[in-house]
Amino acid sequence: METAERTLEEILALAAAHFKVPREKLSPDEDFFKALGIDSLQTLDLLTKLENHFRVELPDYELQGVTDFRTLAAKIQARL
């Protein structure tokens, strides 16, 4: 079973790789739209990547108001 911290770290690594942003530039509590320079269409790409990686299904309405990686990780963790 993934721990919350490990889930968070995997999300940061996946986001950095997918959007070609250095991993060290991402921090758990910052706004990922700004940090990654993405819009909502690209956020859906990130969601798909995360669902495929963690083998979960996360309804996108659960992302309402979610703007930081730590909260996103908690949402994923709740589905593991």
Interface residues toward other proteins, by CB under 8 A: 33, 38-41, 43-45, 47-49, 51-52, 57, 59-61, 63-64, 67
The total of other beta-carbon atoms located within 10 Å of residue 40's CB is 9
**Closest CB to other proteins among residues 3, 48:** 48
SS3 state of residue 56: coil
Report yes or no: 3 and 65 within 8 Å, Cβ to Cβ: no
**Closest CB to other proteins among residues 24, 39:** 39
**Closest CB to other proteins among residues 3, 11:** 11
